[in-house]
Structure 1
């Protein structure tokens, strides 16, 4: 297989950094007729849904007798973990890529799903990731992100979400809360942590905004050389986050995703940039009800803000390992189809995980943030598309993240020039490296 030796070598190196993951699947079991039956090993991308995937895997095994092992990569470590696991015997039979850029690395390992039952369950061809005529991946969840709002705290500060319809509005509210933070007892924003468990929210999700508006202005869907047209807007929203937060900007390098969530759960901040996947974490123990929460767009002072919706899309495409044994491939295809067609599977994905799944038998999500995205779209607001799958590499994201962290600690024009260089020059360099013939 082309590139196989290269990927296995990379995987073995990565394994030294990641360490051994327990419970890897891919083992054969004897069926009732003495023949080997397949098994499933799913390398899950989403730590926040690990518990639900473990429960769903157990339910499937109890119902069918087929072993399903779910291993969840640490936040921000999926690609490294995937490289490590693909270099082992009993490699994942089910994994994911984030879109065209991720597919370029793994397309030689992607089984063609064109004739699979799960592919036939998709509600639109738009959710298939193709490599020529081959269906290499299938989107399994559509999500939204924005600014999650504690409406109770916002009301204590004298505002409602109707008062925030633009970046100028958001800035006014946030800076007023900061000016009265001692009196109010809370901050505007949770910590914009730049630890690896949190930095993806800003080097990827927040960075999507200036990319989206540049693509919209230029009428394109990808580029080999980003211009950085809206990087001043990126700086403005980043400044707002880090200077109106629960902590000093210099402390952000060590702040984690858990820190940010826990600050929000404890009522220490009004705004928390995150997505619909956080709904369960915020409501599971009754800390918040739907009446307490809302999600609003991330405004950066660009485009038609009056008609801007949430950031909605996917970077989650299921792929089946074409290098796996035939029995494991079939077992994996059967498991995927069960997840999106059975009552247990669709309930788990739609209700327990809070996903909007793009399949015919999907149950309507009870996730408040999903409902709000639907309401905004039906009201004529335009969702901001997910363009970060076009980011040229993980190294590009890391360069932007490092530059943002350095700028947070020293907010000078010189330090911001480092962000611009990482964003623009880094894009060109990484694109060229990724597309060498």
Structure 2
């Protein structure tokens, strides 16, 4: 994979069909076939290889289609309308499930359900196990420790928003002397905006849910939106990019900023390891996204999943069973598990694996240092920030917030921030109501 490729994969779709291909010995649909609509562009090549390996072993054809970044739902709708629809797809949690629950096979008695290490990773629809989380991930602020040290600091100096702000602004004040900025580009094109309209927006939602003792709401209050403004201001005013240019800045620019050592801090997650690994594991760390909430010194990283496997209940029975067998193989076969969990040279071809932390019994200690850093925070008793963006009302809501954030970045006044608040609060209420219609 190109070192600067992230979720914003250039190709719109990547697809392979193994039935009848050279090297797929005896591939036949007699015992069913699998069609997986993959959500993760950064893992496309690995899934293609796993699919081929499974077909080699079993003779069962496997097709993998990878949707472009930000286009999964649209691609799913299009593919589900076809006669040869996906047999394996995914939803992001309760909100995504609401649209597809009628297509979800009950996984409660499946072999893969028995492999789960916790029922917390089962997505339930009443008594039906509609989905199974297949990877847990973590995000925060990835740090180049070498650059931070050159600026005169260490990760241990950053304990809360106040210290993050002080250090970031000091780096900005000395950026010409140091030769680097505090933050990578906070790009707001479609390949990058999810980092801020979804992942960063999770923080004020998380703290509001914590304060109110809830796990979802029909009407978000926006209690911590001033904190959201503070961290957004810090990102956009202490970065490699002019805030007025963010609307056209892609994810690849942010990745390039980090790996070419133009910036110390990069908001992203464990999935980005392969993209940043070239700076050296010894130089990598990850810290929480601090937004200035009381007690945040005990905050951990943002850990959870929005990747739930669902099996198409409307598919042919043979294809359903073939898909269940494929899923279970992925999390129990030694080579497949190594491909899912491993890093450098973990694939049978010798290429890098996916570096996942999987919530199944055969999970391996990760070769991804970012995954192990996340585990260390929990071992130290830091409280992980849960992934509450699975309760965000819709993609339309996210887009409204993202558009308002971009407008504000270009002209940072109170009126424009009020547009962010309106998109966040009023947009939440209207989109939540719309999902019930």
1:415 matches 2:406: no
How far apart are the structure 2 equivalents of 1:67 and 1:258? 34
Contact 2:341 2:363 in 1 (8 A): yes
* Uncovered stretches (5+) of structure 1, i.e. residues with no partner: 1-17
Match of 1:327 in 2: 318
Tell me the alpha carbon deviations over residues 402-435 of structure 1, each in whole angstroms, 9 at most, x when there is no partner: 0001101110100000000000000000000001
Tell me the alpha carbon deviations over residues 120-146 of structure 1, each in whole angstroms, 9 at most, x when there is no partner: 111111110011111100000001000
Match of 1:7 in 2: none
Tell me the alpha carbon deviations over residues 76-126 of structure 1, each in whole angstroms, 9 at most, x when there is no partner: 111111111111121111100000000000001111111110111111111
1:225 matches 2:219: yes
Q: CA deviation at 1:305?
A: 1.6
Contact 1:25 1:39 in 2 (8 A): no
How far apart are the structure 2 equivalents of 1:97 and 1:19? 20
How far apart are the structure 1 equivalents of 2:130 and 2:181? 45
Match of 1:301 in 2: 292
How far apart are the structure 2 equivalents of 1:194 and 1:243? 14
Tell me the alpha carbon deviations over residues 149-182 of structure 1, each in whole angstroms, 9 at most, x when there is no partner: 0011111111100111110001011111111111
Contact 2:28 2:60 in 1 (8 A): no
Q: Secondary structure at the match of 1:177?
A: helix
Match of 1:373 in 2: 374
Instruction: Tell me which of 91, 94, 118 is aligned to 1:100.
Output: 94
Instruction: Tell me which of 247, 251, 256 is aligned to 1:253.
Output: 247
Match of 2:428 in 1: 427
Q: CA deviation at 1:323?
A: 1.3
Q: Secondary structure at the match of 1:194?
A: coil
Contact 1:26 1:39 in 2 (8 A): no
Q: Secondary structure at the match of 2:279?
A: coil
Match of 2:384 in 1: 383
How far apart are the structure 2 equivalents of 1:32 and 1:433? 49
Q: CA deviation at 1:196?
A: 0.5
TM-score in terms of structure 1 length: 0.92
Aligned length: 414
Contact 2:331 2:362 in 1 (8 A): yes
Contact 2:257 2:263 in 1 (8 A): yes
CA 1:406 to 1:120, structure 2 compared with 1: closer, same or farther past 3 Å? same
* Uncovered stretches (5+) of structure 2, i.e. residues with no partner: 1-10, 343-352
Contact 2:18 2:55 in 1 (8 A): no
Contact 1:26 1:41 in 2 (8 A): no
Contact 2:13 2:65 in 1 (8 A): no
CA 1:56 to 1:417, structure 2 compared with 1: closer, same or farther past 3 Å? same
Q: CA deviation at 1:36?
A: 2.0
Match of 1:115 in 2: 109
CA 1:107 to 1:180, structure 2 compared with 1: closer, same or farther past 3 Å? same
Q: Secondary structure at the match of 1:267?
A: coil
TM-score in terms of structure 2 length: 0.92
Which 4+ residue blocks in structure 1 deviate beyond 6 angstroms? 18-21, 24-27, 31-35
Q: CA deviation at 1:20?
A: 8.3
Contact 2:18 2:27 in 1 (8 A): no
How far apart are the structure 2 equivalents of 1:192 and 1:34? 47
Instruction: Tell me which of 222, 229, 234 is aligned to 2:228.
Output: 234
Match of 2:76 in 1: 82
Q: Secondary structure at the match of 1:36?
A: helix
Comparing 329-338 and 56-65, the one that deviates more: 56-65
Q: CA deviation at 1:66?
A: 1.3
Match of 1:312 in 2: 303
Matches within 5 A, 1:173-322: 173-283=167-277, 287-322=278-313
Instruction: Tell me which of 21, 27, 49 is aligned to 2:43.
Output: 49
Q: Secondary structure at the match of 2:322?
A: helix
Contact 2:303 2:387 in 1 (8 A): yes
Q: CA deviation at 1:32?
A: 8.0
Tell me the alpha carbon deviations over residues 233-270 of structure 1, each in whole angstroms, 9 at most, x when there is no partner: 00000000000010100110000111111111111100
How far apart are the structure 2 equivalents of 1:303 and 1:45? 36
Contact 1:26 1:38 in 2 (8 A): no
CA 1:19 to 1:375, structure 2 compared with 1: closer, same or farther past 3 Å? closer
Match of 2:347 in 1: none
Comparing 320-329 and 210-219, the one that deviates more: 320-329
Contact 2:14 2:66 in 1 (8 A): no
